[in-house]
Amino acid sequence: MAAKAVVLVSGGLDSTLAALLLKEQGVEVHGIHFSTGFCLSEHKRTMSFFGAAQGEARPETQRAETNLRVDVRNVDLGEEYLETVLHPKHGYGANINPCIDCRIMMLRKAKSYADEIGARIVATGEVIGQRPMSQRRDTMRIIEKESGLEGRLVRPLCAKRLPPTEPEKQGLLDRARLLDFCGRGRRPQMELIASKGITDYPLPAGGCCFLTDRNYAARFRDLVAHSAGRKLTRDDLVLLKTGRHFRLSPALKLVAARDEGECRFLELFSEGRVRFEAIDVSGPVALSDGPPPSKEEELLCARIVARFSAGKNLPEVAVEARGGGSEPRTYMAAPIRDEMVLSKLRVLSE
Ligand code: SF4
């Protein structure tokens, strides 16, 4: 009977190749794909659904299934992942990416799936030295240990640079047919996968996760600093992915859409917030985030909305505010012209 393996697949180059290498050894491969809620391509796909910038049309799971001809189980990490992002035991990488904790969580779940289906191998597309936090020899060891997969976790792309695993020792895998890749370059992987006739995978240009993004990290830190102990929700973190963010007071922010797609997306979050939009000229939808703004704060919101509207060069723009427990009201708002003032309000990375 063929050995079974659960392979973590992202739909990208490395994990596809790792799964293929196992399949070539006659292993029965079962894919598992994790949704963290912070995947850039997933967000682009959502935004393209709302009519914004184009993203990859097919979900990663589907692409992996097509390229590998295997079933892929999709697992949403949900609120549990949020906790990992907020309180990672092993800390953050360069931004707010808790890569070590993230990998441990994914691998624990992959292990459960492997146990459930009787797979003795769990594999990933990791390559030593490819990522600064989670793909160093020492952190790979920690991840393996804390996920409960010591000796059972196979990294086919760099296996020859690591001690032999149990599946190799037991003859389930031929070590000689595993690889010895290392470092950040992807050329060997690209050449190898092309030789196997696969050309459809996302370009491995990095930046696959919002948590590694400097601006997202700046917004996240701003939110945490101003949450005053309030328990953050997934919606809070989803909203950070969208639009321009302006900090108006310790408790209050304004989030303004940057394009049509974001306007439609923000509408999903309008309940319980004040919604601003220019009336006579086109412009962004913007939402307050925090307690209902005062009249002065609403006027400031309206001036920001006016600044990003088609009437930004007019003396005044009519901006309607809805919500906040009052009847709709209109502000005649002078667009903010002082870029210094605007950039001071804007939540950006240093
Ligand atoms: S970049 Fe880090 S935090 Fe983001 S999905 Fe990958 S391992 Fe997880």
pLDDT of 124:
97
Query: Which residue lies with its CA nearest to atom 4 of ligand 1?
Result: 209
**Strands 28-35 and 4-8, how do they pair?**
parallel
pLDDT of 53:
56
Q: Which ligand 1 atom is at minimum distance from the Cα of 133?
A: 2
pLDDT in tens, the chain (350 residues): 789 999 999 888 999 999 999 999 999 999 999 999 898 888 877 777 777 555 555 677 777 788 888 999 999 998 899 999 999 999 999 999 999 999 999 999 999 999 999 999 999 999 999 888 888 999 999 999 999 999 999 999 999 999 999 999 999 999 999 999 999 888 999 999 999 888 887 765 556 899 999 999 999 999 999 998 788 888 898 899 999 999 999 999 999 999 999 999 999 999 999 999 999 999 999 999 999 999 999 999 999 999 999 999 999 999 999 999 899 999 999 999 998 889 999 998 65
Residue 350 forms part of a structural domain: no
Which candidate, 322, 276, 326, places its Cα nearest to that of 303?
A: 276
Task: Output the CA–CA distances (angstroms, integers) from residue 54 to 47, 116, 307, in the order listed.
Answer: 8, 38, 26
Cβ–ligand 1 contact at 95 (below 6 Å)? no
Cβ–ligand 1 contact at 97 (below 6 Å)? yes
**Same domain flag for 194 and 256:** no
Which candidate, 5, 67, 8, 64, places its Cα nearest to that of 36?
A: 8
Cβ–ligand 1 contact at 64 (below 6 Å)? no
Q: How many domains would you assign to the chain? A: 2
**Same domain flag for 175 and 232:** no
Identify whether the C-beta of residue 98 lies closer than 8 Å to the C-beta of residue 85. Answer: yes
The predicted model scores a pTM of: 0.88
**Same domain flag for 323 and 237:** yes
Of 153, 179, 210, the one marking the end of a domain is 210
Cβ–ligand 1 contact at 88 (below 6 Å)? no
Ligand 1 center to 333 CA (angstroms): 42
**Same domain flag for 56 and 95:** yes
Cβ–ligand 1 contact at 37 (below 6 Å)? no
Burial code of 109-144, b = ≥16 C-beta within 10 A, e = fewer?
bbbebbeeeebbbbbbbbbbbbbebbbeeebbeebb
Of 210, 239, 264, the one marking the end of a domain is 210
Q: Which ligand 1 atom is at minimum distance from the Cα of 211?
A: 4
